[in-house]
Amino acid sequence: MVRQRVAYLQCSSGISGDMCLGALLDAGVSEEELTKALKGIPLKGWRLEVKKVKRAGQAATSVNVKIIRAERPRTWKDMVSIVKKSRLKPEIKRKGLDILRGLFEAEMKVHGGPLEGLHLHELGSIDTLVDIFGTLVALSSLGIKQVFHSPVNTGSGVVKTAHGFLPVPAPVTAELLRGIPVYSSGVPHELTTPTGAAILRGLSSGAGAMPGMTLERTGTGAGMREVKERPNVLRVFIGRPAPQVTVMEANIDDMDPRIYEYLIEKLLKAGALDAFLAPVIMKKGRPGIKLTVLCRDGDMGELADIVFRETTTLGLRFYSAERLTLPRKTEVLNTGLGNIRLKKAYLGGRLLKSAPEYEDCKKAALKHNVPLREVLDRVRKI
């Protein structure tokens, strides 16, 4: 099965809707295909203006939703009607409406009034729809299923609005960023906009350090203004997620130790990737054993059954862990003592390390009545 891609947004200069579009176009999304998909939304009087720019010397893609004619304010009810009439994929419609609802509910909390008749105070309906649904279309075209992000730089100072000058982050932005790690680097500008915050809130699978991935492409989206203090850009990193394993653990202090060898053999035969023991000191100073089993998600049920049946434990804890492995292949060597498998591991296409298969060497030593170390040495010299 092909693993879906993940994306990581580096929000060190905040995030906005146009920065999202710019980063994803810079990462390889076709401008023509994106525009064609967005024309499926029944909106007139707009076009995408895409160009290459520099921000503090860093190359980036700038996207501006150019409004050709003035638009009237649209309410929540209007926006829902437009989206439902569009030719977008059902999944994109659903996700986009969820993001839009979050934006409108933040406006409702800050400015008051019923949701149905509310309109976006500072945002045009056309560019809001294009930013949100364009981002979703672009993510879909790249096969991205999860979006992670860094803590978000909000900027600082004040921003001019229809309600006068408001502190940064603006009240609606702050409402949308609840529960998301944020900070301000002191840049005296609004770096994170309401639309950017709404997109992040609606798509976030987690915030923090970049998750493990095999990096395939990157993109850089430009903010509208040049900022002296730093490149005003949003960077996206796209790749295949690092393989994950399930880790199962149990602490045992009342079992016949002779059972452990049998247990581990049975777990490995049933598909465990690894199983091992470690001495621990448990409650009341009792010595015990911590059993750890690594397995694929789909094998967890069967392996847990084995642990419960074969040990005295009453409970198992489990969690997911990322796992990086080197590409490997096995070569069969004719050593004069029989065929012995040699395991080889590669890094960057070059052989990094190799090791003979222990069980093959053990069988050869017993069969030919030679010391095991001699068999190992002979294989290593071939």
Selection from 14, 365, 45, 373 nearest residue 224 by Cα: 14
In CATH, 244-322 is 3.30.70.1380: yes
What pLDDT was estimated at residue 81? 93
259, 310 in Cβ contact below 8 A?
A: yes
pLDDT tens track of the chain, all 382 residues? 345 899 999 999 999 999 999 999 999 999 999 999 999 999 988 999 999 999 999 999 999 999 887 777 788 989 999 999 999 999 999 999 999 999 999 988 887 777 776 777 556 789 999 999 999 999 999 999 999 999 999 999 988 876 678 899 999 999 999 999 999 999 999 999 999 999 999 999 999 999 888 899 999 999 999 988 789 999 999 999 888 899 999 999 999 999 999 999 999 999 999 999 999 999 989 999 999 999 998 899 999 999 999 999 999 999 988 887 888 999 999 888 989 999 999 998 899 999 999 999 999 999 999 999 999 988 888 7
What pLDDT was estimated at residue 366? 96
Could you give the CA distance from residue 152 to residue 192 in angstroms, rounded to a whole number? Answer: 8
What pLDDT was estimated at residue 1? 37
What pLDDT was estimated at residue 137? 98
**Local structure of 293: helix, strand or coil:** strand
What pLDDT was estimated at residue 111? 79
Could you give the CA distance from residue 376 to residue 104 in angstroms, rounded to a whole number? Answer: 69
User: Residues 41, 43, 44, 46: is their CA dihedral positive or negative?
Assistant: negative
What pLDDT was estimated at residue 121? 58
Contacts of 369 (CB under 8 A, 6+ apart): none
Residue 281 is which amino acid? Answer: I
* DSSP per-residue string spanning 185-245: ---SSB-S-HHHHHHHHHHEEEESSPPPEEEEEEEEEE-SS--TTS--EEEEEEEEEPPEE
Domain edges within the chain: 5-241, 244-322, 328-381
